[in-house]
Amino acid sequence: MSDNIIIRKANESDLEEILALIDAPEADNGIAMELRDANTIYQTILNDPNYFQIIASSEQGIVGIVTLVIIVQMTHEGSTTALISDLIVSEKLLHRELQATVARDLLQYTSNLAQEYGCYQSIIQNDYQSELTEAACKALDFEKSSHSFLTH
């Protein structure tokens, strides 16, 4: 992990900085929800024991985020699967190498948390910063799979 970057679970006080990160062009088309609407959703996330927002913070504030959802299944003898998505790293981190390190550290932390929850597999799906996500996944030796289908 980078010397001045801390990876942790998000808490109530992080919402405004998370929205600022989402509002950046490299994220959700540069469009974040209004604070009032976002607060309702964020409270739902924080109160769900199987849903986590993981953040990377530095002196600059929140510089990265990833979402982890633990899915409890009837198959695999009631095992759990980790769905990891919405990895976003701030372009304010000017060095591409630092962005890659933050992305990798976020995925590593999230993967470790998924293992703590007994997940037999993790699925990483990300609509943002695909090159950064792919590089982080390769650095962590995640296997690429094409067994998914999407609909919008």
104 in a structural domain:
yes
Helix (H) / strand (E) element for 71: namely strand 61-72
Contact between residue 56 and residue 62 where contact means Cβ atoms under 8 Å apart: yes
1 in a structural domain:
no
The count of structural domains within the chain is: 1
Q: Which domain holds residue 129?
A: 6-139
145 in a structural domain:
no
Contact between residue 86 and residue 65 where contact means Cβ atoms under 8 Å apart: yes
148 in a structural domain:
no
Strand order in the sheet with 119-125: 6-9, 51-58, 61-72, 80-89, 119-125
Dist. CA 17–CA 83, nearest whole Å: 23
42 in a structural domain:
yes
119 in a structural domain:
yes
Q: What is the pLDDT along the chain (152 residues), one digit of tens a residue?
A: 455 899 999 999 999 999 988 887 666 666 778 888 899 999 999 999 999 999 999 988 999 999 999 999 887 777 899 999 999 999 888 788 889 999 999 999 999 999 999 998 888 888 778 788 888 878 888 877 766 666 66
The CATH number of the domain holding residue 74 is 3.40.630.30
Contact between residue 90 and residue 64 where contact means Cβ atoms under 8 Å apart: yes
Give, in degrees to the nearest 5, the angle at Cα 28 between 26 and 30: 65
User: What pLDDT does residue 149 have?
Assistant: 63
